[in-house]
A and B are shown apart, each in its own frame.
Chain A
Amino acid sequence: MISPGTTRIRVTIDNQSIEVETGTTVAAALVLAGVKGTRISVDGEPRAALCGMGVCQECRVTIDGGSHALACQTLCREGQVISVPHMMNAR
């Protein structure tokens, strides 16, 4: 999937460091890292991106310490630190 010559950047998702292609959204990076969801609903259920375009707010996560950031409208940057609720982590 990754074409040669494209720039890779490294982000950290809850202590898991992964490399992604430049231009990748945080929403995509979460899936690449095997994260199961983005937030816990009022009734305690896992949720993940629904609308993919900044409307539904389901994909909000904490990025570089700022809470409620929309993963679908944020691009990955070198050294970015992303965190999601504990129950979402694959490991």
Chain B
Amino acid sequence: MTQHFDIVVVGAGPAGLNAAHAAAREGVTVALLDDNPRAGGQIWRQGPGQPPQVPLQRLLADLNQQSNVTYFSSTRVIAPLGAHGLLLESAGHGGVGIRYERLILATGARERLLPFAGWTLPGVTGAGALQALIKGGMPVHGERIVIAGSGPLLIAALATARAAGARVVAVVEQAPAFEVARFGASLISEPAKLRQAVGMTRGFTGLRYWTSSIVQEAHGEGCVERVTIRRGERNVTLACDRVACGYGLVPNVTLAHALGCAINEAGEIVVDGEQRSSVGGVLAAGECTGIGGAELAAVEGELAGLSASGSAASRAVLHAQRARWRRFGRRVEAAFALRDAALVAPAAATLLCRCEDVSLGEVRAYPDWRDAKLHTRCGMGACQGRICGAAASLYFGWQAAAPRPPFSPARIGTLMAASEEPPLAE
């Protein structure tokens, strides 16, 4: 059975929640979906001992009072279903068809996870991943953890790990010290961000925060036991129980790409001042249009919700806020831009594709992503190249082809639900 909504919002993080909230105020019918069991996205992740944060509480309370908003949790978009339709798979209801007049993509971003020797050992995760797992109730009390990669997310992961009782052995940042220091000084212009940073680092007291350094290899039998860090010209090996390594964020644009929305060279969905994509009826907001943090995502989401619902409300304040947080986003991007040490692919024997166990050496023998996939099965496993594709794009400049449905592993029953749909009337 196909359900009809004026507006469908994909993703219930800061952008999607604010989009749904703004649109619902105009009285239109709204469906809000997210592949996680609970709303909030990555930044407002809930869990045991992690009650909803204040902005999330407020949004959820407001949305719960709106009878015109339907929330689909644990629900993924599997395929487009004709024009203005989507096939969904929900953990509770299986295959579901949904139709929209306007679609708002608030699909967020994922971590850029780059391969290194030993990165397939249990105990190696992303940096944001460590945060997410801890918030989901994973115990790390007393564990020795090395947090690595690049960007402010490392500091957020540090704060979460420490609060959960872990001993953070080192934070390993690929950016040079002067860039990090310049970025830190620039926070003066955003006092809230500065307070947040100071709180999270506790002023860096007693912390090994190594700049211009990258993880070279994780060692261990069956799980992580040690990690080797490249610091300039020398290597340092630290004993640890976990390595949490992520090199910034990559916008999630699979659905946008498949729908034909223009994507720029940075891999972001291109939007105009009203958050409209290049495809009629499709808008986008938040990190999928460029990495800029939760504040930017929330403003863009609200703008998208107003645009999609045809609201006459003034956008002037929102436009000013958006410009401010975009400037902040650009400062983060410049400070933590990946330097040479992180841009060079590791040794040929290192696995690139974790789904199909294909090494970098096997893959780089081919001229492009398509050839590499056809000959090695790289990028053809369960994650559909979302992890290795981002790495291959960084190392070799390879562009991914337009994604084909199903966008995620789906049950046969879900695909059958699509074929049982009556022809869609235009």
Chain A residues within CB distance 8 Å of chain B: 1, 3, 6, 20-25, 27-29, 31-32, 36-37, 41-43, 45-58, 60, 68, 72-75
Q: How far is the CA of A46 from the CA of B297 in the complex (A)?
A: 37
Residues on A with C-beta less than 8 A from B137 are 20-21, 23-25, 28-29, 32
For window 47-80 of chain B, which residues contact chain A by CB distance below 8 Å? 47-50, 74
Interface residues of B in 383-426 (CB under 8 A from A): 383, 386-387, 409
Given A25-B47, A36-B223: A52 in contact with B128 (beta carbons within 8 A):
yes
B152 CB-CB contact with A under 8 Å: no
With both chains docked as a complex, state the minimum distance between the C-beta of B334 and any C-beta of chain A, in angstroms: 26
A25-B137, A53-B42, A73-B74 in contact; A46/B129 too (CB < 8 A)? no
**22 A/B residue pairs, CB under 8 Å, sorted by A:** A3-B49, A20-B48, A24-B48, A25-B136, A27-B136, A27-B138, A28-B137, A28-B139, A31-B139, A32-B137, A36-B223, A42-B356, A46-B222, A49-B125, A49-B129, A53-B36, A53-B111, A56-B354, A58-B354, A68-B409, A72-B136, A73-B36
Classify chain B: how many residues form its interface, as a range.
Answer: 35 or more
Interface membership of chain B positions 137-151, coded 1 if the CB is closer than 8 angstroms to chain A and 0 otherwise: 111010000000000
Question: Complex formed: what's the CA distance from A52 to B37 in Å?
Answer: 13
A-B residue pairs, 9 tightest by C-beta: A52-B129, A25-B136, A48-B122, A24-B137, A28-B137, A52-B132, A57-B382, A21-B48, A28-B138
A52 CB contact (under 8 Å) in B122, B125, B381, B387: B125
Interface SS of A by simple majority: loop
In the complex, whether B123 has a CB less than 8 A from a CB of chain A is yes
With A47-B120, A51-B110, A52-B130 known as contacts, the answer to whether A32 contacts B222 (CB < 8 A) is no
Closest residue of A by beta carbon distance from B387:
A56
Given A28-B139, A48-B122, 9 more A-B residue pairs with CB atoms under 8 Å apart are A21-B48, A27-B136, A27-B138, A52-B136, A55-B383, A56-B113, A58-B354, A68-B409, A73-B35
Complex contacts, B49 vs chain A, CB 8 Å? 1, 3, 6, 21
Chain B residue nearest in CB terms to A42: B357
A residues in contact with B387, CB < 8 Å: 50-51, 55-56
- CA of A57 to CA of B357, assembled, Å: 14
Whether a CB of chain A sits under 8 angstroms from the CB of B14 is no
Q: How far is the CB of A74 from chain B (nearest CB, A)?
A: 7
How far in angstroms is the closest Cβ of chain A from B56?
Answer: 14
B124 within 8 A of A: yes
Determine whether B323 belongs to the interface, using a CB cutoff of 8 Å to chain A: no
Residues B129 and A53 in contact, CB atoms below 8 Å apart: yes
Set B38, B113, B356: member contacting A50, Cβ < 8 A: B113
Q: Are A24 and B129 in contact (CB under 8 A)?
A: no
Shortest distance from the beta carbon of B201 to any chain A beta carbon, whole Å: 22
Give the shortest distance, in Å, between B408 (CB) and chain A (any CB).
9
Enumerate chain B residues within 8 angstroms of A6, measured Cβ to Cβ. 48-49
| Contact present for B139 and A73 (CB under 8 Å) | no
Measured CB to CB, the nearest residue on chain A to B353 is: A42
Nearest-Cβ distance from residue A19 to partner chain B, whole angstroms: 12
**Do A52 and B36 touch across chains, with their CB atoms under 8 A apart?**
no
Q: Is B338 an interface residue (CB 8 A)?
A: no
CB distance from A72 to the nearest CB of B (A): 7
Of the residues B136, B222, B354, B381, contact of A24 by C-beta under 8 Å: B136
* Cα separation A29 to B138 with both chains bound (whole Å): 7
- The listed residue with most A CB atoms (<10 A of its CB), out of B132, B136, B357, is B136
Known contacts A49-B129, A56-B387, A57-B383; A1 and B356 CB within 8 A of each other: no
Our pick among B123, B124, B132, B139 for the contact of A32 (Cβ within 8 Å) is B139
Which of A21, A43, A68 contacts B357 (CB under 8 A)?
A43
CA gap between A37 and B113 in the complex, in Å: 19
Report the separation of the CA atoms of residues A55 and B246 in the bound assembly, to the nearest whole angstrom.
Answer: 14
Cα of A51 to Cα of B110 in the assembled complex, Å: 8
A50 to B126, CA, bound (A): 6
Q: Return the contact of A23 from the options B46, B110, B356 (Cβ within 8 A).
A: B46
Contacts of A45 in B (CB 8 A): 120, 357
In the bound assembly, the distance between CA atoms of A21 and B137 in angstroms comes to 8
B243–chain A nearest beta-carbon distance, Å:
11
Closest to A23 in B: B48
Question: B122 contacts A46, CB within 8 Å?
Answer: yes
Query: Within 8 Å of chain A (Cβ to Cβ): is B133?
Result: yes
Q: Which B residues are CB-close (under 8 A) to A20?
A: 48, 137
| Chain A residues in 8 Å Cβ range of B130 | 52
Query: How far, in angstroms, from A50 to B357 measured CA to CA in the complex?
Result: 15
Minimum CB–CB distance for B357 against chain A, Å: 4
Q: Which residues of A contact B197 (CB under 8 A)?
A: none
- Identify which of B125, B138, B356, B409 contacts A51 (C-beta below 8 A): B125
